[in-house]
Structure formats: C-alpha cells, structure tokens
Amino acid sequence: MDAKAVGRRIRAAREQKNLTQEELAALVDISPAHISIIERGTKIPRLDTFVSIANALQVSSDSLLVDVADHAVSATASDLSGRLTALPHKEQLKILRILEILLEN
C-alpha cells in the first residue's frame, strides 16, 4: 500500500472541506499529531480510524484508496460520472472532449 499517496488524498480531501488538521482530529476523535502522521504517510491508520476519517470528510474510501484497491477505479469512475451529469450540458461536452483527447494518446 502506498501510504504516502493515501495520506496525500486524505490531506487533499481535508483541505477541500476547508478543515484544519485539528478540526478533522476532533471529528475523528484522535490527536492532530496522529492526523499529521497519517497525512504524511508515515503510518497507515487502523481500519476504524480510516473509515471515521472518510466519513468525516464525506468521501468514499474508494476515492482514498484508488491506487490500492483494484475495484476502486470503477467506483471513482462512477462517482465522476455522477458529478459530470450534474453539470450543465455545455460543461459536460467540454469535459468529454478533453477525455477523448486524453484517451487518444
């Protein structure tokens, strides 16, 4: 498992929610130092802690483990598909064109 990559995704999700490490730690009931250790990838959290972090951040565990779990890619694709359909039609077309270009290479 790439603990550093998972930690980076946890940090990114926390920052996207505009939470400090202290605020996330309070939501999960662990110390801010422990959050820091997890985000740096120094230590892999226990499963119950990991689930609590994902729930507090309102993200799927799949999105945090995308390069670890084989089936996480399909869950992420499904999540992106849902987000894409929520966009206005013109924005959807722009994103689809970009994806087509990327997939041609």
Q: What is the pLDDT of residue 82?
A: 82
**63 and 75 fall within a common domain:** no
**47 and 7 fall within a common domain:** yes
DSSP states of 19-68 as a string?
--HHHHHHHHTS-HHHHHHHHHTSSPPPHHHHHHHHHHHT--HHHHSTTT
Decide if 7 contacts 40 (C-beta within 8 A): yes
**55 and 88 fall within a common domain:** no
Q: Which domain holds residue 80?
A: 70-105
| Straight-line distance from the first to the last Cα atom of the chain, in angstroms, rounded to the nearest whole number | 28
Q: Residue 1's CB: how many other CB atoms inside 10 A?
A: 11
**101 and 88 fall within a common domain:** yes
How many whole angstroms separate alpha carbon 32 and alpha carbon 21? 6
Q: What is the chain's pLDDT, residue by residue, as a tens digit (105 residues)?
A: 789 999 999 999 999 999 999 999 999 999 999 999 999 999 989 999 999 999 999 998 888 887 766 555 566 677 788 888 889 999 999 999 998 899 886
Q: Residue 2 carries which DSSP code?
A: -
Q: What is the pLDDT of residue 75?
A: 63
CA angle 31, 33, 39 (to 5 degrees): 110
**37 and 65 fall within a common domain:** yes
